């Protein structure tokens, strides 16, 4: 299984991720939600019993969160 945590996805933004987590409540909420969805996806992928539609919905949600996080990371100056 591939790692999809934000530090693996955006290694170039490691410092920004850390700074935004502690200084921006909206970013922190997105960060936490992304990691919760990612955890759910990994759990479903590691079990042999899952509903494909649910897994796909979670993957779409993770992608949307990742896009919003990426936009914030690209805009912020730290």
pLDDT score, position 64: 98
How many C-beta neighbours within 10 Å does residue 40 have?
15
Q: What is the pTM (predicted TM-score) of this model?
A: 0.85
Give yes or no for residue 49 having a pLDDT over 70: no
Q: Which helix (H) or strand (E) holds 66?
A: helix 52-75
Domain positions in the chain: 6-75
CA separation for the pair 14, 24 (Å, rounded): 15
pLDDT at 1 (0 to 100): 58
Please tell me the predicted confidence (pLDDT) of residue 70. 96
pLDDT tens digits, residue range 32-48? Answer: 999 999 999 988 888 76
CA distance linking residue 68 with residue 29, whole number of Å: 12
Q: Is the pLDDT reported for residue 19 higher than 70?
A: yes
């Amino acid at each position: 299984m591939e790692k999809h945590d934000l530090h693996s996805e955006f290694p170039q933004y490691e410092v920004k991720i850390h700074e935004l987590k502690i200084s921006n409540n909206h970013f922190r909420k997105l960060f936490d939600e992304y990691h919760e969805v990612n955890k759910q996806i990994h759990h479903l992928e590691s079990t042999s019993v899952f509903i494909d539609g649910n897994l796909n919905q979670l993957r779409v949600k993770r992608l949307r969160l990742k896009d919003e996080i990426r936009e914030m990371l690209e805009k912020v100056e730290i």
